[in-house]
Structures are given as structure tokens and as C-alpha cells.
Structure 1
Amino acid sequence: VDVAVHKLDAIEQEALAQLYGIMTVPTTVVLDTQLRPVAINHGVAPLQKLQAQIGATGGQPPVA
């Protein structure tokens, strides 16, 4: 499965960080094809957990 990965600086993009409740680094937000959050992982998430969350998106997220 191909996925788009975007990194952001939570300090520079404070509004976006607040939207997803990002208070720790790293945080991974998995979005579905409609850009709705499927999962939010605070801290390092294990690969198998991320793979399951990506699988739950129903497809590939759009590339911004």
C-alpha cells in the first residue's frame, strides 16, 4: 500500500497541532481518504499498529 507521509513542525503549525491534540513528539495521525482521522498515536507507534491503522483507512489518502 502506498501512503503519503507529511511532516509538520507542531510549533510552526500550532493550529493544526491543536486540531489533532498533538502535545508530544512524535505523534502520528492516520487519515482516511476523506482526510478524517482514523487514529492518533502519541509517541512512537509500532510498525504493526501503523499497518493496521493504514489498512483501516479504506484506501490511499490523497496527496496534498
Structure 2
Amino acid sequence: MLAKINLDSRICEIELDSIKTQTYREFIKQSEVEFGLKPRDLDNMSTTQLSEYLDFLDFLWAK
């Protein structure tokens, strides 16, 4: 689960098997631009909403 307190943490610091050096916030914003998505208000999303949105973005990158 992605908690709001981790939005500005580097992905590789939270997910030790990851090589992504971006923060979660940077990754989400880059993904929104890349896929033409309307930017979400990440600071007002619940932990569940953030996790589901991150899973969705990961799914788009895997296509």
C-alpha cells in the first residue's frame, strides 16, 4: 500500500528490488503526462486510492 507519507520517497528506498530513483510523486506525474491523464490531487487521496492508482499506472507501463 502506498501511504501519502511515502509520496516523496524514492521508489528504490521503499521497494528494495526496484531500480527506480524517482519519488512516487515524480513517477505518478510523469505517468500522467506520458499517458495523457488528468492530474490527480494525490495529497487528498486515501491510501487505498493511491495504491490502486499506482497499480493502474504500473499496468499502463507494462502494456
Q: TM-score, normalised by structure 2?
A: 0.34
Which structure's relative contact order is higher, taking Cα pairs within 8 Å and 6+ residues apart?
A: 2
Give the structure with the larger strand fraction: 1
Please say which structure displays the higher CA radius of gyration: 1
Q: Which has the higher helix share?
A: 2
